[in-house]
Amino acid sequence: MPSTITRYPKEVILKDHREAILRPLEAVDREKLAEFYRSLQLSLRWFLKEDPCDVNVIKKWIENQTEGKAFSLIAVYDDRIVAHGTLLQRPYGGRRHVGRLRVMVASDFRNLQLGTWMVFDLIRRGMEMGLEKIRADFVIGLEDSAIEAFKKIDFIEEAVLRDYIQDQQGKYYDYQIMIKQLHKELSDF
C-alpha cells in the first residue's frame, strides 16, 4: 500500500463544538475498539460480517492494516473511540480495483458530520491507493439516512439484493449496493 500523504492525527470540530481526533487504527486500540462496538446496539452490529466485539476479529483487522490489506481509521473523543471506518482492498484478482468501505459511528456522535469526515478521508485514501471504485453496502430500512448521505457524495445506487439480510427475529431486509467511481483525471466538457 502506498504511503499516505494525509497527515494524522487530524482534529475535526463537530457541529456541537466537540473536537474529535481522527487517526489510523493501531494495535494498542484493540480493547477500546471492542468497547466501542459493544456500546453499539446489537441491531447495528448484527449486519456486519464478523462479530466486532470479538477481540480476535479486531486483532485480524489490525493485522490487515499492518499488512496493507485495509486502511482503518478511528475517531477518538476524550480517550474513547467514537467512530470506526475501514477501506478494504483485495490484494489479488479481479476486484483489486474496488475498495469496500464501512463506517460506524457511536449513537451520541451521529448527525454531527463525523461520519462525513471519516468517509472523506477513506475516499481520499482510496484515491491514493489507486482504486477505481469504492463500494458501500447498506441495509434498506435500517440505514436509509446513510444511503441518503452517501448519495450526496456521489455514491450511486448500483444494485439491490432482495431479502438478502435477516435480522435477529428472522425478518428480511433488502440490501443496497452503492458504488462511487474514483477518477484519476477530471473530464472537460
Partner 1 sequence: MTHPDQKIQTLFFGEGSITIRSFCSPDEIALLSLKETFVESSQYNPILSKKESLIEAAVQPDANVTLAYTEDKKVIGISILRYPHPDERWLKSGDRVMMEVSVLEVAGKWRQKGISKKLLWLLLDHPLKDDRIIYMVGYSWTWDTSGTGKSVIEYRNHLINLFSHFGFGIYPTNEPNVMMRPENLFMARIGANISESIRKKFKLVRFNLDE
Binding site for partner 1 (CB under 8 A): 5-7, 10-15, 17, 113, 117, 120, 123-124, 127-128, 183-186, 188
Residue (49 or 183) nearer to partner 1, CB = 183
What does the angle CA 141 – CA 160 – CA 68 come to, to the nearest 5 degrees?
Answer: 95
What is the DSSP-derived secondary structure letter of residue 186?
P
Residue (58 or 87) nearer to partner 1, CB = 87
Residue (40 or 101) nearer to partner 1, CB = 101
What does the angle CA 86 – CA 176 – CA 56 come to, to the nearest 5 degrees?
Answer: 35
Residue (127 or 147) nearer to partner 1, CB = 127
Rounded Cα–Cα distance for residues 14 and 17 (Å): 5
Minimum CB separation of residue 120 from partner 1 in Å reads: 5
First-last CA distance in the chain: 33
Minimum CB separation of residue 145 from partner 1 in Å reads: 18
